[in-house]
Structure 1
Amino acid sequence: MNLEIVAHRGFSAMAPENTLAAFTAAIEGGANSIEFDLQLSADGVPIIFHDETLDRITGTSGKVREKSLEELKQLNAGAWFGEQFVGETIPTLTEALNCFQRVEKFLYFDVKPHCQWSQTDVEKLIQQVREGGILEKCVITAFNEEFLQQVRSCCPEIKLGYFLTETTDYQQQLNKAIKAGNAILSCLFDVVLENPHFVEDSRTQGVDWVVWTVDRPEHFQELVDLGVKRIITNSLIGWT
């Protein structure tokens, strides 16, 4: 498999994170894949936003999960980054589909733990990605493993991602990925650099890696030298 450059929240060094502008910049900049954050509005609409609260990105107070889509759409998601992005709003998954259909390889969903997904919510999500023509590109990752189980029961063919942030959790998370089938480990890059043998050990058991978030060229090269093929980055788009 060739090296896969994954744009973290879109090309977030060039445009405000998790916006249509960032996704477009990632594709035009040469990223192979896109990582983004997903949660629900108060009225159950999948929206693309990282934080539990609105303050950092929109400059307004309140929690995302307590705002309706109509309320969220009134907020500015780009002004904090630069004047040229003043018109950017918080996108829905539906609005991002046109961009996502253009992605060459994979779409890494980081489904946030800020809200509870009912079985109906999960079924609607799967229906949406299926009808949007992106199911085969999807890697659904979440710290909430109950959510991952819901996804797997609803859609056996979709790829899952299990987070790994601590060396001591490696075997446990690897076992979960193996048991789930059609799954990868999404790992803090430091863990891989400190434990290079993990890469081949997991691959021999059918589980590949994606690592995050790599923005220093020396770390990028070290990971490539170790055989890591999927690298999430804010800024090193277009590297080969």
Structure 2
Amino acid sequence: MTKIFAHRGASGHYPENTMIAFEKGIENGADGIELDVQLTKDGHIVVIHDERLDRTTSLKGFVKDTRYDVLKTADAAAGHQQTVGDVRVPLLEDVLSWAEKKDFLINIELKNSVIRYEGMEEKVLETVKRFKIEERTILSAFNHESLALCGRLAPHIERAVLTSDVLYQADQYVKSIPAAGYHPKLHSPAVTDEVLQQMRNSSIKVRPYTVNRPDDMEHLMKMRADGIFTDFPERAAAIAKKLNRTN
């Protein structure tokens, strides 16, 4: 059964990577959430997608150049103020403290392919272990060296290769890291029915991103993709329910 991940939370209707987006994602039928992490100037793990603060917060500049005591004052509503009011950039530990009491999957994307945050892997793994949610956690990254390091540090936590490119012998490449998941960009030659079958034959979990069109959701569910990342988890949940009724 295809798992539905709320991409940056239910980000189609709520400000991405905020607590309200994550909460609504689960309320709207997602099996898990996806979030992005970066490090502040003083080493705090914050949940934010862009390297710069400008697009999603009321501040400007790079996350890496901003201390947490400054960043935590930012409004992260990003155009949703009328519907959600004032929301903040959460710490990873804020999200995991909430998730600890629930039962859903958590995909943590390490945003370290543009800026190489020293020590990010160790910090993230320590936080995941502190909340005892290793078995529900997936670590993904476009920086595959970082994934390999995570594998050496915590081989029991699942890792997934993020890519927007076509990988030669993708199944062998994923296993060489080693990783158990393959997260390719939707609408690229990296996501074909043949690739899905090849990965299934190699016991690699395929979870494409970002799947927002109902037709794509339904096709991937019928092809038994292991998961999808979507900004609209309520759409995916409705389609999954419909398919379950007809099967």
Name the TM-score, length of structure 1 as normaliser: 0.90
1:1-59 deviations in whole A, cap 9, x for unaligned?
Answer: x2211100001122110000101111111110111111111111110000111111114
**CA separation of 1:226/1:63 partners in 2, compared to 1, >3 Å: closer, same or farther?**
same
2:24 corresponds to which letter in structure 1? A
Shift in Å, 1:194: 5.7
Root-mean-square deviation (Å): 1.9
The SS at the match of 1:13 is coil
Task: Give 2:188's match in structure 1, choosing from 188, 191, 211.
Answer: 191
1:80-118 deviations in whole A, cap 9, x for unaligned?
Answer: 223243321100001111332255442111111243333
- What's the counterpart of residue 206 of structure 1? 203
Q: Which consecutive unaligned segments of at least 5 residues does structure 1 have?
A: none
- What's the counterpart of residue 233 of structure 1? 230
- What's the counterpart of residue 117 of structure 2? 117
Shift in Å, 1:60: 2.9
2:118 corresponds to which letter in structure 1? S
1:178-233 deviations in whole A, cap 9, x for unaligned?
Answer: 12345210011213686211111112112110111111111111212222130111
- What's the counterpart of residue 41 of structure 1? 40
Q: Does the 8 Å CA contact 1:165/1:188 hold for their aligned counterparts? A: yes
> In the comparison of the two structures, how many residue pairs are matched?
236
- Tell me the percent identity: 27
- What's the counterpart of residue 172 of structure 2? 175
- What's the counterpart of residue 51 of structure 2? 52
- What's the counterpart of residue 243 of structure 2? none
2:146 corresponds to which letter in structure 1? F
Alignment partners' CA distance in 1, 2:126 and 2:149: 14
Decide which moves more: 67-76 or 50-59: 50-59
The SS at the match of 1:198 is helix
Alignment partners' CA distance in 2, 1:232 and 1:103: 20
Shift in Å, 1:176: 2.9
- What's the counterpart of residue 245 of structure 2? none
2:95 corresponds to which letter in structure 1? A
Q: Does the 8 Å CA contact 1:214/1:231 hold for their aligned counterparts? A: yes
Shift in Å, 1:170: 4.5
Alignment partners' CA distance in 1, 2:18 and 2:232: 16
- What's the counterpart of residue 27 of structure 1? 26
Q: Does the 8 Å CA contact 1:79/1:86 hold for their aligned counterparts? A: no
Decide which moves more: 122-131 or 6-15: 122-131
Shift in Å, 1:73: 0.5
Alignment partners' CA distance in 2, 1:141 and 1:107: 11
Task: Give 1:223's match in structure 2, choosing from 220, 230, 247.
Answer: 220
2:2 corresponds to which letter in structure 1? L
**CA separation of 1:194/1:211 partners in 2, compared to 1, >3 Å: closer, same or farther?**
closer
Q: Which consecutive unaligned segments of at least 5 residues does structure 2 have?
A: 241-247
Alignment partners' CA distance in 1, 2:37 and 2:58: 20
Name the TM-score, length of structure 2 as normaliser: 0.88
Alignment partners' CA distance in 1, 2:196 and 2:227: 12
